[in-house]
Structure 1
Amino acid sequence: MLSSLEREYDFVIVGSGLGGLVCAAILSMENYSVIVLEKNHQIGGHLQVYSRGKSIFDTGVHYVGSLDEGENLHQFFKYFGILDKLKLKRLDEQFDVIRFADGEEYPYTQGFDQFAKNLISFFPEEEDAINKYCSKILEICTKFPLYNLESASDGYYLESDILTINAHDYIASLTDNVRLRNVLAGSNLLYAGTRRKTPFYVHALIMKSYLSGAYKLTDGGSQIAIQFSKIVRQNGGKIVKHKKVVSANYNQDGLVREVVLENGERVRGKQFISNVHPAVTIDIFGQERFLNVYKSRIQGLENTVSTFLVHITFKEKTFKYLNHNIYFHDTDNVWDTADYEPENWPQTSFICTPHISRTGEYADSMSVMTYMKASETARWEKSFSTIAEPGERHEEYIQFKKEKEAQVIRRMEELFPGISEQIKAVHSATPLTFRDYIGNKDGSMYGIMKDSVSPAKTQINTKTKIPNLHLTGQNISLHGILGVTVSAFITCFPFVDKDILIQKVKDA
């Protein structure tokens, strides 16, 4: 009897991030044989969690949108049969708070009507601008069929005039009120928004998602990965950890025959899906197999900035749980904070308290995410460390982290005076941490940066010039739980009747 790695699979999927897991779920449910190969100790990519003491920390997903009844992610999860298996906590009606250094706060309220009404109460003279902004978001989102559970010729049709609308410029065209502009863009850390590149459609799709039902994942986001892995296994698929793919072998027709693992094992397949960054995919599957013009484009694309993520554990029953998130800006220019100067860091922070079922009204911990350029940790880039491949970091790197943690906590003291006295322990992750665990080259938060100036350049097709190699993940459609789920459907459309599949989702 052949072992799981010796047989030939219909699909070999490289990487168990959400995109790879959703592809595996779709295809296994359609009776294809599937194997997912994961290099790490834990599946899930950005859904991974880790624990320190008894505290659970998310590495990437801190809250999820579009989960109210009838919304698109709600419907996708119903189709997969996992919605009622997830432990969810709906955030307050005022789910995000945009706060500035002068102490002024502006809440985002769930639902478009309430969102507009609330903002108009702060900016009554800007009612027309706020209503136009909301209408434009809804208009843009209708242009994306799969986000509306509708079919299209390629599953992801975009009109060129939609792609070239710049988010900063469009918002600025609505109003001269600088504070309102910054409030409307106040959660742009969700997509590492920049003044010169970020398209408005990225802003629109993400804003609509969170305004349509914002939830935390109680006890951590890894439960999503676990539920998808159960679907795969229940349908006969395999998920194998500690299997790092390093290269591929081809047949005489130029088709991938098998992938080669770091330990020398080989896994054969008919079709291959890569859930790793397209630039890393080129390295794995052989530079010589791709056209020079494609290689140059992919390898030359700018990634979004990376992050410094601080996890704070509180002393027992000292800090009340917050059922909303805070975006704290120490500037009145929220669009340029990803390109910060070290002396001003951190200018923008995302702050949340994870929802832990056992702690009740008190927070067990706090996560603070802020931008960090990969160049800040470049001097230690030759080091590598994960649970699967333990390695040593330089003592200077440890000291660097401690200094940055202290800067973040000083910033938190401005928001929560006395918080330092409530802290039991502090841990952090840098661009190197994300690089090692996620498998991209610079620890980028959201993969390839979309560009309103050269939109076609940053659009990545799921199909490659290698006929049986396909791409999925956050670089295909959009990052985030919803974006990556949509991307996985697009990847699978060549193998499953898309109209029938979308109807199954709608009928779920």
Structure 2
Amino acid sequence: MLSLTSFALVALFFMQLLGLYFYVQYFCGWGSIFREDCVYPPNPLVTDKRTRGKVLRKGFSKIKVPPNLDALVIGSGVGGLSVAAVLAKAGKKVLVLEQHDQAGGSCHTFQERGYEFDVGIHYVGQMHEGGMFRVIMDQLTDGQLQWNRLANHYDSISIGHRVYRLYAGKKEFPDALKMQFPGEEEAIDKFMFLMKKVARHVALLGTLKILPEALMRQLLRSRLLHWISPVFRMSESSHQDIMDGLTRNKDLQAVFSYLFYGVPPNDSSFMINALLIHHYKRGAWYPRGGSSEIAFHMIPLIQRAGGQVLVRAPVSRILLDNGRATGVAVQRSEGEVCVYAPVIISDAGIFNTYERLLPAEIKTIPEVHSLLSSLQYGMGCFLVFVGLKGSSDELGLKSTNLWIYEENDLNCLMGKFSSMSCEEMCEQLPLMFITFPSAKDPTYSQRHPGRSCMTLLTMAPFEWFSRWKGQQPRHRGEEYEEMKMKLAQGMLGRAIEEFPQLADKVDYMEAATPVTNEYYLRAPEGSMYGAEQNCSRYQSDIINKMRAQTAVPGLYLTGQDVFSSGLAGAVHGGLICACAVLNRILYLDIILLKKRLKSRIRQRKSM
């Protein structure tokens, strides 16, 4: 047994070592896989389809599988590519397998009749120079991914006949709200204070997924963590409860809840809503060249370390040997092809992984059963892709997004929506999102001259289209086509009410239902945002349980279900997974790199 004095000396020694580590990392970055010299000036945009296809559409065959793999990733969504890129930067040889014919998951794009449409990335926040997320994305793409900043007025929110506008900027954001909500200055300041506190303390929630689960469980039971930071309480509190404590103004409450993902404010976490709004407070950005640029610039990092990203490789099951994950079976027309690796990572989502890829008995493991029973499928999406004759400039299209709500009580609105039939939805649209990707990307008019595009989005229960589950696209029959296009026409009509100059400019239209998203993205019941983002998911004990490590040795999870939804949530899911695989707290290296970069930015601006 160590005496108290000896223990203090040992503790002091380790603190000195830790201090030395931080000193070396801060000033030099030695030993880190995240470094300044990993980022290079961006090359010209690659538009040649064959060149892009060699990166994004490399088809699977057994001969293309690299030998002596270090890890294998199921799914090439951003969560899968992120963890693969980080492991590749650490010198690991990684194979990523994608069931679709193009890598990227919700970041892929498709082209029809000369138009290009993104599938899931509409705009991204926190891409300002020196920002944490910008630093991460630069590291994962060698700095080759370029971002175009949207107009300062990045979002409009229509509630009934009233329209509210959000402006980017630390000061501009709250000041614009105060101009539009006179008398609510105190409530706005309080919300901004809470939002900032959530953003500063959210990293503590990450520790629940990175540090040992048993230790975190004991700290949660003692309520010590809740005493240390309010973020744990705010993650467990419903958004509506905190809004009710700030203001009775229903329009202002709706504005602070406007980024819908299928969960009403009375069942969503205040922390998540606050983070979403904070994400865009400094501005909104869109990838130059379209969202497929994200995968296009991540994949070379994986290839450089000897890995590959192969498409048309649907994984049918995860292979186990004495209870340990050792490989996967890829379904081919000639039969299964087995591929082996010491580490298997699933970006297929928690439900697909446990319910489709693993043997049924795995779900009976108490910790797995407990976790799955506390989660539910997220709401599906219905998207309409509209091709427009004329450039964005010619049509007067702006980069500002429009969110439309029929009324300001979003709990009532979501309740009404969830009980509606598809036919009723066609007649009365309670909520919708309108965006113009071609107006956000200055290269769109160069790549597709004389054309522009609009995307419409609303939520849609899977049950509306469930009878066509599993059927091939374009083979679902006339009833399906009529049903989806009737809803699409209703949404288009509502959009033209807002933008009447487009009435005679529609040249192409297609719609994607929850079964479309399930087919192409393997999103269970079309839930593009992963497991439901409700309050129960963000209880501290569930956050602690939903980590990258699984009950199956050798198997890890990545992506949206590990952390939260959206591009940022999926990327952080990939980083958390890489921390688990490498047994290293990579966030320390990122934080120190960010500090070095910000210091240099300040020096440059002061010159």
1:257 aligned to which of 326, 348, 370:
326
Compute the displacement of 1:450 (Å): 3.0
Identity %: 23
Matched AA of 2:360: Q
Q: Secondary structure at the match of 1:332?
A: coil
1:121: which partner in 2?
179
Contact 1:56-1:219 at 8 Å conserved across structures:
no
Structure 1 residue corresponding to 2:108, chosen from 48, 59, 71: 48
* 1:306/1:431 contact within 8 Å kept: yes
**Residue of structure 1 in register with 2:130 after alignment:** 70
**Residue 89 in structure 1 maps to residue 142 in structure 2:** no
Q: Compute the displacement of 1:296 (Å).
A: 6.0
Which shows bigger deviation, 12-21 or 283-292?
A: 283-292
Looking at structure 1, the residues matched to 140 and 318 of structure 2 have their Cα atoms a distance apart, in angstroms, of: 31
What secondary structure sits across from 1:256 in the alignment? Answer: strand
- Matched with 1:447 is 530
C-alpha offsets along residues 201-224 of structure 1, whole Å, 9 cap, x if unaligned? 111111111113311223321100
Deviation at 1:431, TM superposition (A): 0.5
Contact 2:399 2:436 in 1 (8 A): yes
1:253-279: CA deviations, max 9, x gaps? Answer: x21222111121010010110001211
Q: How does 1:170-249 map to 2 (within 5 A)?
A: 170-186=242-258, 188-189=259-260, 191-249=261-319
2:434/2:495 contact within 8 Å kept:
no
- Post-superposition offset of 1:87: 3.5
Alignment of 1:44-443 (within 5 A): 44-83=104-143, 85-102=144-161, 104-145=162-203, 153=211, 159=226, 160-186=232-258, 188-189=259-260, 191-252=261-322, 254-263=323-332, 264-282=336-354, 283-293=356-366, 294-295=368-369, 297-298=371-372, 301-317=375-391, 319-339=395-415, 340=417, 341-342=420-421, 343-344=424-425, 345-354=428-437, 355-356=440-441, 357-359=443-445, 364-385=452-473, 392-443=475-526
Note the alpha carbon deviations across 1:38-76, whole angstroms, 9 max, x for none.
111011111011111111101111111110112121110
How far apart in 2 are the matches of 1:350 and 1:371? 10
CA positional deviation for 1:506:
3.8
Q: Per the alignment, do residues 291 and 73 of structure 1 end up closer, same or farther by CA in structure 2, a change over 3 Å counting?
A: same
2:125 and 2:285 in contact (8 A); partners too: yes
- How far apart in 1 are the matches of 2:534 and 2:249? 26
The CA deviation at 1:5 is 3.4
Gaps of 5+ in 2: 1-61, 227-231, 595-607
Residue identity opposite 1:415 in structure 2:
E
Query: 1:441/1:77 Cα in 2 relative to 1: closer, same or farther (>3 Å)?
Result: closer
RMSD, aligned α-carbons: 2.7
2:73 match: 13
8 Å CA contact 2:159–2:251 kept in 1: the answer is: no
Q: Offset of 1:336 from its aligned partner? A: 4.6
CA–CA separation in structure 1 for the residues paired with 2:176 and 2:405: 20
Alpha-carbon shift at residue 309 of structure 1 (Å)? 0.6
Question: Following TM superposition, by how much is the alpha carbon of 1:483 offset from its aligned partner in structure 2, in angstroms?
Answer: 1.2
Distance 1:76 1:122 in 2: 35
Distance in 1 between the 2:376 and 2:301 partners?
35
**Amino acid across the alignment from 2:435:** C
TM-score between the two structures when normalised by the length of structure 2: 0.77
Cα deviation for residue 420 of structure 1 reads 2.2
Q: Distance in 2 between matches of 1:377 and 1:404?
A: 12
| In structure 2, distance between residues paired with 1:287 and 1:299 | 15
What do the CA deviations read for 1:277-317 (whole angstroms, capped 9, x no partner)? 21110121222234344236426622221111111111224
Q: Return the match for 2:555 from 453, 460, 469.
A: 469
Q: Distance in 2 between matches of 1:469 and 1:151?
A: 15
Q: Note closer, same or farther for the CA distance 1:262–1:406 as it changes in structure 2 (3 Å cut).
A: same
1:2-58 deviation per Cα after TM superposition (whole angstroms, max 9, x unaligned): 944373421111111101101100001111121111111011111011111111101
Find the residue that maps to 1:424 and give its secondary structure: strand
Q: Assess, with a 3 A threshold, how the Cα gap between structure 1 residues 453 and 245 changes in structure 2: closer, same or farther.
A: closer
Letter in 1 for 2:509: V
Q: SS where residue 273 of structure 2 aligns?
A: helix
2:389–2:450 contact (8 Å) kept in structure 1? no
CA contact (8 A) 1:39 1:243 kept: yes
Out of 1, 23, 28, the residue aligned to residue 88 of structure 2 is: 28
Which moves more between the two structures, 12-21 or 477-486?
477-486
How far is the alpha carbon of 1:152 from its aligned partner? 6.8
> Partners in 2 of 1:151 and 1:211 — Cα distance?
27
Q: 1:219 & 1:33 partners in 2: Cα distance?
A: 28
Partner of 2:12: none
Q: How many residues matched? A: 497
Indicate the structure with greater helix content: 2
Q: Give the Cα–Cα distance (whole angstroms) in 1 for the partners of residues 70 and 108 of structure 2.
A: 27
Deviation, 1:418, is 4.8
The 1:81/1:96 distance shift into structure 2, 3 A limit, reads same
| Distance of 1:384 and 1:227 partners within structure 2 | 31
SS in structure 1 of the partner of residue 524 of structure 2: coil
Larger Rg: 2
Post-superposition shift, 1:421? 1.6
Aligned AA (1:217): P
Higher deviation after alignment, 489-498 or 107-116: 489-498
The residue number in structure 2 matching 1:489 is: 575
Change (3 A) 1:392 1:69: same
In structure 1, C-alpha distance between the alignment counterparts of 2:175 and 2:497, rounded to whole Å: 29
CA distance in 2, matches of 1:147, 1:363: 45
Q: What secondary structure is seen at the aligned counterpart in 2 of 1:143? A: helix
For 1:506 and 1:146, the matched residues in 2 are separated by 17
Question: 1:384 offset after TM fit, Å?
Answer: 3.0
Distance 1:152 1:279, change over 3 A: closer
Q: What whole-Å deviation, never above 9, does each CA across 1:451-502 have from its counterpart, x for those lacking one?
A: 3256244752211111110101101101112111111111111233534663
Task: State how far apart, in whole Å, the 2-side matches of 1:231 and 1:45 are.
Answer: 18
Q: What's the CA shift for 1:112?
A: 3.1
Do 2:257 and 2:265's aligned partners in 1 also have CA atoms closer than 8 Å?
Answer: no
**For the Cα contact (< 8 Å) 2:326–2:554, is it kept in 1?**
no
Alpha-carbon distance between aligned partners in 1 of 2:489 and 2:152, rounded to the nearest angstrom: 32
- In 1, Cα distance between the equivalents of 2:351 and 2:136? 29
**Contact 2:93/2:302, CA 8 A, preserved across alignment:** no
Partner amino acid, structure 2, of 1:430: T
The whole-number CA distance in structure 2 between the counterparts of 1:366 and 1:172 is: 36
Do the aligned residues in 2 keep the contact of 1:307 with 1:370 (CA within 8 Å)? yes
**1:345-398: CA deviation from partner (whole Å, max 9, x where unpaired):** 42111111113424289870111111111111112124133xxxxx62211111
Query: Which stretch shifts more, 446-455 or 426-435?
Result: 446-455
* Shift, 1:162, TM fit: 2.9
CA contact 1:447–1:474 (8 Å) conserved in 2: yes
